């Protein structure tokens, strides 16, 4: 389920206050590959176990938030730092 454009226009990262963008297919593949290889943790230190179907990324491309059934999960503890992924762009 796609995120509503009006919602996306007003969403900001709770940590950096940066604008959020929909994660590209390539970025999503890189993240899901890292999840499949047990290489990703959330900001709270817990392991990311489930692949992402959709996600949002900050303007500086350093933090990702998952989207579940069209609803962004904008919790700092459940964000994913992209610095964990080699060659993430």
Please report, for the chain, the start and end positions of each structural domain, with discontinuous segments joined by +. 5-84
52, 31 Cβ separation under 8 angstroms: yes
Q: How much is the pTM?
A: 0.92
**Strand residue runs (E) in the chain:** 20-22, 55-58, 63-68, 71-72, 80-81
Neighbours of 87 (CB within 10 A): 5
Question: How do residues 10-52 score in pLDDT, each as one tens digit?
Answer: 999 999 999 999 999 999 999 999 999 999 999 999 999 999 9
């Amino acid at each position: 389920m796609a995120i509503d454009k009006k919602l996306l226009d007003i969403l900001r990262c709770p940590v950096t206050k940066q604008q959020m963008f929909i994660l590209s297919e390539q970025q999503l593949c890189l993240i899901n590959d890292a999840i499949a290889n047990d290489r990703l943790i959330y900001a709270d230190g817990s392991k990311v176990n489930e692949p992402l179907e959709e996600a949002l990324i900050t303007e500086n491309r350093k933090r990702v938030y998952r989207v579940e059934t069209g609803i962004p999960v904008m919790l700092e503890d459940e964000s994913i730092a992209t610095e964990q992924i080699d060659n993430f762009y």
